[in-house]
Structure 1
Amino acid sequence: MASLLHRLGAFSARRPFAVLLAWVFVLAAAVGGMASLSRPLSNEFEIPHSEFGRVLDELGQEIPQVAGGTGTVVVHSPDGFTADQRRALRDTMTEWEDLPHVTAVLDPFKLQRQLDGSGDQLDRGLRKLTKGQEQYDEGRAQLIGLENWLADHPDDATPALEQQLADGKAQLADAGEQLDSGWATYHAGKTLSDAGDGVSFVSDDGTTALVQVRFDSQTQQLDPAVLERVPETGAALADAGIRADYGQEMTASREVGGPGEVIGVAVAGVVLLVMLGSLVLAGLPLAIALVGVGVSLTLGIATTQWISLQSMAPVLGMMLGLAVGIDYALFIVNRHRHQLAALADESDEPLDEERIRASIALATGTAGSAVVVAGTTVVIALAALAVSGIPTLLQMGMLAAFTVAVTVIVALTLTPALLSLAGRRAIPRRRRTTRSGRARDGWPQRWVGLVTRRPRAATALVTLVMLVLAVPALSMRLGLPDGSSEPQDSTAYRAYERVADDFGPGANGPLLLAAEYDAPVAEADVVAAEAKVARAVLAVDDRVSVLPIGTSDDRRTIAFQVVPAEGPSAESTVELVQGLRRLAAGDEPVHQTSSWLGLQDVIADADPTGDELLGDGVSLGLTGATVANIEVSERLAAALPLYLTMVIGLSLVLLTIVFRSILVPLVATAGFLLSVAASFGAIVAVYQWGWLGALFDVHDPSAVFSFMPTLLIGILFGLAMDYQMFLVSGMHESYVHGKDARTAVRAGFASGARVVAAAALIMVSVFSGFIWAEMTMARSIGFGLAVGVLLDAFLVRMTFTPAVLSLLGDKAWWLPGWLDRLLPNLDVEGAALAQRLERERTESEAPAEEPARELTPVS
């Protein structure tokens, strides 16, 4: 591999303009493809064979009006809505109804009147039933009196009196049946009224109202331009003095870049400038990263012509592409500069172009080999996300892997070309020396000396720090971000907060419940059936209300809205969903902890099992955005152990091949697990517990983004192996060349620590730029990667690893002979390449031999 990369570097160095123009052409073609082929990105998190998807599809066929997406518009008037304001709102709702994909706009004031009117109807019905009951009781008493009189006076009984008694009994029986039916209907209606008591569309003080805009598809599946028409049309409400805020489902940010990312790249540029001491060289890795990201992302977005791409995928690709692009180019540039420094020290004569190009080719062959292995590691780790079985996660992983692969190719071809154009400007200044002429020891020598002198203490201290940081991870909860995670100055956050304040936090994430019957429900029994389901749902904890919202034409499906006690990401909402699942399965008791709805008698008489509360012939299904988010999180959590096992296995196999050792891969993997655990702990402390929330703009702590753990494991594994490669390969090279184990650790560390430290700081800078991104989902990932890289590079790779390898001594590099013969030799350090080049140089400098005399055959 090193020889092949050496030839590639030599070609690029000899023809820099051709290589540069080729990449300019590729970038232009990719941009053109994106401009002509791209389609809007999606916010949908798809899960094949999901329960919520099945229920949603069935509802879409049976009750289409409740199965489509719903957007919430929160309208507010500080002094209450005047007649003119209500008229302006009605006009705007009419305009919303005319928008594409909008199926209905629900008037909140009309809905509130219907809710209030249902209570009045119940009161009137109760009065009518009470009067009817009194008349029934009075008639029954009269018949009983007549029957008793006839029994006491049999001689006075006449056929007319007996017929009157028989007719009265028949009429009383009919009246009793009607009265029983009336009372049953009343109690069912009262149950539904009480069950929906927490539902309202206009706040108690009359200043806030909820407008529901219904679409023909889920909002995540719609073109963002369609959703944006709603707030654009609603801008006219401000002229009437109405404040309108729009829910997250219509306004979630899909921006790929922002000022935070620019600042992160700028900080990375400063680190490069300090390390390389030249604007030209500092700009080179940045150019490599930008070209790699530009080509890969534009090509990836162009594929949206054929496939749906989740909006988070380009953000992840850009985040990772910028970081590894800068780092990979830096590794090659740094190797080239070290070689030029050595050549300059050998001779005071200026270096000619041929020697500079030879150095570029050698740097590409040696450092480029490590870049290929490191990049391949990242690509494989990201491609392995396919084991999750979740298409959205696979999209993220594949686009990020494609970005890394393209960036590796750009680094291996464009970096040599630009270094060739830089020429002598890549030669570093002469190193500072002591009076004796020896190079001064820098911080790498001092640090590794301290670590290897106290290896046990260093190992114990790092392990303790990482385990303490990992403690919060024990309480990690997974979920998808809701409106409370949006920036505080955003309309989505204002809408979320106003709904929570005026209508309860659960109104931000209602559940959709479908009751499916084996046979059609009689029209006269629909209310009773609705009441029976409502009673069953009320037997589950953590709910506020349940309200029927639609019945299919064949009356075999009834849809309900269940409002949780807390917000969509709250732990109690997850428990509510689990309780409703148990209710549907009928395999566990459902415990009733409160009877504030006045249904004590009804529920107390029912056996507390789902089957008996619901009865036979009916099954329940759950769906809706909140249920989908919970199911996505559960599926991701279930796939995490398998993915982590695959990554660990990959780590052991790859590092065994590269370092020809058994213990070095185990040490590297143990360090990786420490880094992952500590990163998870830091994320939970900040985003779930709210520690340092003001610093990281976490105003409403909630569940951790459910995709974050899986993505963090894959990406951090690849990056950790990068640093392992560049640090430990130097140690291995020194050991192979005859140095004792401890000296080899020190020498290898000193040769690679500066570039690894700079690379880590660059990655931390780039990832930190996403902590304050517009897209909420990118924040915790950026934070987790920044913390993970910082801990892994400086505590694990630069402290824990040299300390443990120093303790192990020669044992660290032991490999059974049979395994050594079995494993392929990747020549990552370029030893075979160096031998070949040395042999070619020796042969070229040797005096030419006299050509052999041609022998003439003797006839």
Structure 2
Amino acid sequence: MATFLYRIGRWAFRRRRLVGGLWLGVLVLAVAAAALAPSGEEADLAMPGTESQRAFDLLDERFPQSNSQGAEARLVFRAPDGRRVTAGENRATVADVLGSLEGSDQVASATDPYTTGAVSEDGTIAYSTITYTADAVDLSESAKAALQDAASRARSAGLTVEIGGSALDAEEELGGTTEIIGVAVAAVVLILALGSLVAAGLSLLTAFVGVAIAFGLVSALAVPLGLTSTVAILALMLGLAVGIDYALFITSRYRDERARGSEPEEAAGRAVGTAGSAVVFAGATVVIALVGLGVVGIPELTKMGMGGAGAVALAVLVALTLVPALFGFFGRRVLSRTARKGMRPGGAARSRGREAELPGRDAGRAGLGARWARFVLRRPVAVLMVAGLGLGAVALPALGLELGLPGDESKSVETTQRRAYDLLSQGFGPGFNGPLTVVVDTSESGDTRATTDLVVKTVKGVDGIASVGEPVLNRTEDTAVLTAVPRTAPNSGETKDLVHAMRSALSGVSSGTGAGILVTGTTALNIDISEAMSDALIPYLSVVIGLAVLLLTVVFRSVLVPVKAALGFLLSVGAAFGVLVAVFQWGWAADLIGIEQTGPVMSLMPILIIGIVFGLAMDYEVFLLTRMREAYVHGASPGEAIVSGFRHSGRVVAAAAIIMVSVFAGFIGMNSPTIQTMGVGLAAAVAFDAFLVRMAIAPAVLALLGHRAWWLPRILNRVLPDVDIEGESLSRHDPASSAPSQTSAAEPAPVRQLPVGRD
């Protein structure tokens, strides 16, 4: 693979105008396709195979007229303190407001709260349901303006009015302040790490190209594939983070090769052949883990995985082709000013042998990495204990992890949807916002009405039910639907227990009558999805860990190194889950990041974070350990190999981690609970994995293992393919290995026979 990528790097450098033109054309086409494509809909989560989803599917079949309804809004009215909404002047105001909506653009109907019984027992709160002929995403601005004007009219008359429902729901807007800050921090880190504005700009430029293409493709395919704004944001988040990192890795290796004496084209080829091999492997692990999310069985999670995987794949392609092409365009400006001063007139750096480094500024940075590695080598047990116990302590809150799905209750109190939710809870009880739907299929049973009456009686007898509505039959009278309102809030543990109690009680009715009885509704579906996520967490984690061990065994031809990497990955993920519990369930630092309502962690997050962090963790593992293994194979002692790995890759990995944390943290300021949770979880996981697991625990464990770290059973040594991720096959292309140095003859370094076990 290294030789193949070496040729790609040299070809892209030589054909830089062609490569640049092709990527520019793809970018223009993707942006144009996105601009011309219609907006996608924000689809609800679905979990095929669960009881709640089977009930929804049955409702779609037996009550097809319900599918024709579009968006829905709730105007919630509250009378001033000491007064009732049923008072004459308030009734007149409500009637005037609802009358102003009749005949408005896209309005299908508006209910009268006084005739439908939508008034609280104390008479202070009432609500009206407005239905539209179009979905929320297709609502015109005039329709939304009419709704808001109606609310303003009621407020002018002295009523408190808030708007709930889906009519005002909008896709998350991108380009907020926090995202810009995240990118700005990434730019500063790049400049400090590379010592060149051009090199930093090159990494940002290539990342933006990949992200723009990925975002354009997701937007263009939103309608045909049913992709939501969350898919687009995940693609943006991942594409930007890995795109910057991959370009940084290849640029850093290119500068090292130039400092060793390679000509520009040769340096580009070797950079892509070595660092590019690691990029391909790291990107492949992210893609595999994200595509693997499809096995969970949630369509939305599958789409998020595919969208993120596509963005990462694009970032890999851009790094392997556009980055070396830009090396050709920018020439020596990619190097730091100090390195350019050390160039010979012919363009090559003054070589100091195979291990020549960038002079001045870069050499100092290499010294910092080497000093840290030597510190760990002197105190491996202490470093291992401190880092391991610290991560274990941070992970402890994860034992109390509770999963759920956010609704209006998780939105900011600054939003009218959240205030409408609170008013309805106050007036009609906390369970009003999460009603349960019972679907009774009597097509295989006898008397429909008698069966339905028995179901109503059974549901009313379940402890925790506040009220049960009148059953509604379909046209053929073989299916009935009734609504049950719990006494507790949708995301509470009591409501979860209530759903299980209802299903248990109704199973007896089903077996006695032959009717199919299903409990559904948004609340029940959220409970089913959360439980399915909990059940799938351990199997998915096992698959990911198994994949990590297998891939790393192939790459590093070692047994203990992959095991160490997998255990470290578990530590970083566990600590990230602990942070999520502390912030989103316990409320620690919630005010700091704008979380006003604590509650269960979103059900999709644990598996999604595992899938993403797995690949990102392998990034740092590969880039650090490839240099260590390369040094060990060429005769260095285990300790010297660790120092060599940190000398060459430590500062680059640290910079890459800071960049990735900054990008992920930049999305915490968005209003979407899904994106906030994802930003906190990913930023924490990357920080823990890069700085504690890979740069502290990993070298400490390797120091304690010594030569045994690179041991491989003889049978595996014969069976496993040699992927040559370190680029050993490129030695024949290395001019420094065939030409004498200015200071000494550059003889090929002796190759160590790696420890291989007996059969």
Q: TM-score range by the shorter chain?
A: 0.7 to 0.9
Contact (CA 8 Å) 1:247, 1:496: kept in 2 or not? yes
Report 1:469-484 matches (<5 A).
469-484=394-409
1:824 to 721, 732, 739: 721
Contact 1:683–1:780 at 8 Å: present in 2 too?
A: yes
Summarize the Cα distance change of 1:60–1:214 in structure 2 as closer, same or farther, 3 Å threshold.
farther
1:758/1:258 CA distance change after superposition, 3 Å: same
Instruction: Kindly state the Cα deviation for residue 549 of structure 1 after the two structures are TM-superposed.
Output: 4.9
**Kindly tell me: are residues 64 and 817 of structure 1, through their superposed partners in 2, closer, same or farther at Cα, counting changes over 3 Å?**
closer
Give 1:703's match in structure 2, choosing from 600, 616, 628: 600
Task: Give 3-state SS (helix, strand or coil) of 1:566's partner.
Answer: coil
* Cross-structure match for 2:102: 94
Name the residue aligned to 2:625. Answer: 728
Question: Given that residues 548 and 558 in structure 1 are in contact (C-alpha distance below 8 angstroms), is that contact kept between their aligned partners in structure 2?
Answer: no
Alpha-carbon offset, residue 531 of structure 1: 5.8
CA spacing shift, 1:818–1:531, aligned 2, 3 Å: closer
Correspondence 1:768 to 2:686:
no
Structure 1, 406-415 or 63-72: larger mean CA deviation: 63-72
Amino acid at match of 1:484: E
Looking at structure 1, the residues matched to 392 and 120 of structure 2 have their Cα atoms a distance apart, in angstroms, of 48
- Deviation sequence 1:740-783 (CA, Å, 0-9, x none): 11121122122211000000000000000111213221110111
Percent of paired sites with the same residue: 41
Q: Which amino acid aligns with 2:717?
A: D
Aligned twin of 2:482: 560
Aligned partners of 2:214 and 2:314 also within 8 Å: yes
**Secondary structure, counterpart of 2:469 in structure 1:** strand
Q: How does 1:595-614 map to 2 (within 5 A)?
A: none
Residue 313 (structure 1) aligned to one of 231, 234, 237: 231
- Residue 487, structure 1, aligned to residue 412, structure 2: yes
Match of 1:541 in 2: 463
Relative to structure 1, the CA distance from residue 313 to residue 471 in structure 2 (aligned partners, 3 Å threshold; closer, same or farther) is: same
From 293, 300, 324, the equivalent of 1:385 is 293
Please give the alpha-carbon distance, in whole angstroms, between the structure 1 residues aligned to 2:581 and 2:590: 11
The amino acid that maps onto 2:148 is A
The residue correspondences of 1:425-504 to structure 2 (distance < 5 A) are 425-428=333-336, 429=338, 442-504=367-429
Q: Which has the larger radius of gyration?
A: 1
Is residue 272 from structure 1 mapped to residue 190 from structure 2 by the alignment?
yes
**2:331 corresponds to:** 423
Give the aligned partner of residue 58 of structure 2: 58
Check whether the contact 2:557–2:710 (CA below 8 A) recurs between aligned residues: yes
TM-score when scaled to structure 1? 0.78
Match for 2:372: what amino acid? Answer: W
Cα distance in 2 for partners of 1:397, 1:322 equals 16
**Mapped partners of 1:401, 1:691: distance in 2:** 32
Contact 1:688/1:703, CA 8 A, preserved across alignment: yes
Residue 279 of structure 2 aligns to a residue in which SS? helix
Aligned equivalent of 1:208, options 114, 125, 135? 125
SS of corresponding position for 2:490: coil
Give yes or no for contact 2:215–2:236 (8 Å, CA) kept in 1: yes
Aligned to 1:7: 7
The Cα offsets for residues 692-725 of structure 1, whole Å up to 9 and x where unpaired, read as 1111222111111111111101100000000000
Kindly tell me: are residues 803 and 63 of structure 1, through their superposed partners in 2, closer, same or farther at Cα, counting changes over 3 Å? same
Partner of 2:144: 231
Distance 2:494 2:364 in 1: 63
**1:70 CA drift (Å):** 7.3
Give the whole-Å Cα distance in 2 for the aligned partners of 1:252 and 1:24: 35
Sort the Cα spacing of 1:397 and 1:75 in 2 relative to 1 into closer, same or farther, 3 A: same
Shift of 1:239: 2.7
Distance 1:776 1:275 in 2: 33
Contact between 1:258 and 1:774, CA under 8 Å: does it hold in 2?
no
Structure 2 residue aligned with 1:511, among 436, 442, 461? 436
- Distance (whole Å) between structure 2 residues aligned to residue 61 and residue 373 of structure 1: 47
Q: CA–CA distance in 1 between the matches of 2:372 and 2:46?
A: 49
Q: Is contact 2:282-2:618 (8 Å) kept?
A: yes
| SS of structure 2 residue aligned to 1:306 | helix
Q: What is the rounded CA distance, in whole Å, between the counterparts of 2:378 and 2:224 in structure 1?
A: 59
Q: Distance in 1 between matches of 2:421 and 2:94?
A: 22
- Contact 1:432–1:440 (Cα < 8 Å) also in 2: no
SS in 2 for 1:88: helix
Q: Which residue of 2 aligns with 1:293?
A: 211
* Inter-partner Cα distance in structure 1 for 2:222 and 2:364: 55
Residues 381 and 717, structure 1, Cα contact 8 Å, conserved in 2: yes
Give the Cα–Cα distance (whole angstroms) in 1 for the partners of residues 333 and 366 of structure 2: 25
**Which stretch has the larger CA shift, 284-293 or 386-395?**
386-395
What residue in structure 2 maps to residue 176 of structure 1? none
Between the aligned partners of 2:591 and 2:140, the Cα distance in structure 1 is 31
Task: Using the TM superposition, give the Cα deviation of residue 502 of structure 1 relative to its aligned residue in structure 2, in angstroms.
Answer: 2.4
Aligned-partner Cα distance in 1 for 2:591–2:189: 27
Contact 2:47/2:298, CA 8 A, preserved across alignment: yes
Query: Does the C-alpha gap of structure 1 residues 277 and 415 become closer, same or farther in structure 2, counting only changes over 3 Å?
Result: same
* Contact 1:687–1:693 (8 Å) recurs in 2: yes
- Residues 375 and 405 of structure 1 are in contact (CA less than 8 Å); yes or no, is this contact kept in structure 2? yes
| Distance (Å, rounded) in 2 between the aligned partners of 1:83 and 1:356 | 80
Task: Identify the range of structure 1 (372-381 vs 640-649) with the bigger mean alpha-carbon deviation.
Answer: 640-649
| Cα distance, 1:380 vs structure 2 | 1.0
What's the counterpart of residue 745 of structure 2? none
- Provide the TM-score with structure 2 as the length reference: 0.87
Shift of 1:838: 4.4
Indicate which of 254, 258, 266 corresponds to 2:171: 254
Distance 1:86 1:248, change over 3 A: closer
CA shift in 2, pair 1:360/1:66, >3 Å = closer
Q: Distance in 2 between matches of 1:230 and 1:520?
A: 47
- Distance in 2 between residues matched to 1:70 and 1:618, nearest whole Å: 32
1:19 maps to which residue?
19
Per the TM alignment, residue 223 of structure 1 is displaced from its structure 2 partner at its CA by: 5.2
The equivalent of 1:73 in structure 2 is 74
Alpha-carbon contact 2:136-2:169 (below 8 Å) kept: no
SS state at 1:95 partner: coil
The CA RMSD measured in Å over matched residues stands at 2.7
In structure 2, how many angstroms separate the alpha carbons of the residues matched to 1:809 and 1:541?
A: 63
Tell me what 2:33 maps to: 33
The amino acid that maps onto 2:537 is L
1:163 matched residue in structure 2: none
Are residues 1:746 and 2:643 paired? yes
- The superposition leaves residues 837-857 of structure 1 with CA deviations (integer Å, 9 ceiling, x where unpaired) of 4499669xxxxxxxxxxxxxx
Answer yes or no: is 1:644 the counterpart of 2:541.
Answer: yes
Q: How far 1:277 sits from its partner (Å)?
A: 2.1
Which segment drifts farther, 708-717 or 471-480?
471-480
Asked if the contact 2:136/2:168 (under 8 Å) is kept, the reply is no
- The equivalent residue for 1:135 is none
Range with greater deviation from structure 2 (260-269 or 632-641) = 632-641
Structure 1 position 674, deviation (Å): 0.8
